[in-house]
Amino acid sequence: MEILKALQLEGFRVEPLSKEIEEIEEIDQPDMITVALAKGGLLKDSIDLLKSIGFDFSAFLDPANRQLEIWDKTHTAQAVLVRNNDVPVYVEYGQAQLGIVGYDILRENCPNVAHLLDLGYGECRLSVAVKASSPYKSALDLPPHCRIASKFVHCAAEYFNQLDLPVEIVPLSGSVELGPITGMSEAIVDLVATGKTLKENNLVEIEQIFVSTARLITHPLSYRLNQDSLRERIEQIRASVAGSILE
């Protein structure tokens, strides 16, 4: 503003730009949506689903790719590639309007996000397992105050509380199967897909806690405000999922 006044004092004719700025602001800008995608087993199916509504993030599947954020070719959407546990965090804090993540993560972490849709793929189950040679045939057979090793501390504690069976949850971040093998715990609570890993380590399932599949989530405020035509995209995903079920 000071430069504008100085030019006017020197006799220069300077036209206000407010009209031009208003015209620029009136130009339709393409809506832009950010999607948080989880690394690992859900990624390919998630990319295929988004491709069905016109968003192509298949570059994430290239083994040579090192980018963690890419744009769709239409520049109307971008995706960030993050760890499973971080997908709802990016959505909750508003850095992504949509996210695709396993139900197990949502049950364990209880993030403040809106659960929109069961996408139907990536099915696995959270189960209680013990050594094959163990005398325990159900969760209620486990002795009170025994140790349960798990990455899913909240889910495990909630489950055994519902059974009114006091146990000690031993938090582990990996190789949970070693709990019963080494004698550190009587049982584990872990995700099971095919059961191959359990079998190879001489473990067996004795209870299923819940089934987990991929879920579509969104930021509650973004959904209410319908930012960037968000609901239109959600309905497109819903229709795509419904169509694949009918096929």
**In angstroms, rounded to a whole number, what is the distance separating the alpha carbons of residues 69 and 60?**
9
pLDDT by position in tens, the chain (length 247): 444 444 354 454 444 444 443 443 333 444 689 999 999 999 999 999 999 999 999 989 988 888 899 898 888 899 999 999 999 999 999 999 999 999 999 999 999 999 999 999 999 999 999 999 999 999 999 999 999 999 999 999 999 999 999 999 999 998 999 999 999 999 999 999 999 999 999 999 999 999 999 999 998 888 888 766 889 999 999 999 988 765 5
pLDDT (0 to 100) of residue 225 = 83
Sorted by sequence, the CB contacts under 8 Å of residue 142 that are 6+ apart come out as: 130, 136, 148, 165, 167, 186, 187
Rg (CA), the chain: 25
**84, 102 in Cβ contact below 8 A?**
yes
**In angstroms, rounded to a whole number, what is the distance separating the alpha carbons of residues 150 and 138?**
17
pLDDT (0 to 100) of residue 247 = 54
**In angstroms, rounded to a whole number, what is the distance separating the alpha carbons of residues 192 and 123?**
9
User: Would residue 135 be called left, alpha or beta, if left means φ above 0 and alpha means ψ between -120 and 50 degrees?
Assistant: alpha
- Domains of the chain from N-terminus onward: 33-123+213-246 (3.40.190.10), 124-211 (3.40.190.10)
**In angstroms, rounded to a whole number, what is the distance separating the alpha carbons of residues 78 and 11?**
48
Sorted by sequence, the CB contacts under 8 Å of residue 28 that are 6+ apart come out as: none
SS3 109: helix
Alpha-carbon distance values, 97 to 82, 83, 103, 176, 240 (Å):
14, 17, 18, 33, 19
**177-181 CB contacts, 8 Å cutoff, 24+ apart:** 177/201, 177/203, 178/149, 179/147, 179/148, 179/149, 180/129, 180/130, 180/131, 180/134, 180/149, 181/131
Predicted structure pTM score: 0.82
Q: Which two tokens stand for residue 224?
A: 């209410």
Task: Specify the residue for token string 């146990």.
Answer: 167
Amino acid at 224: R
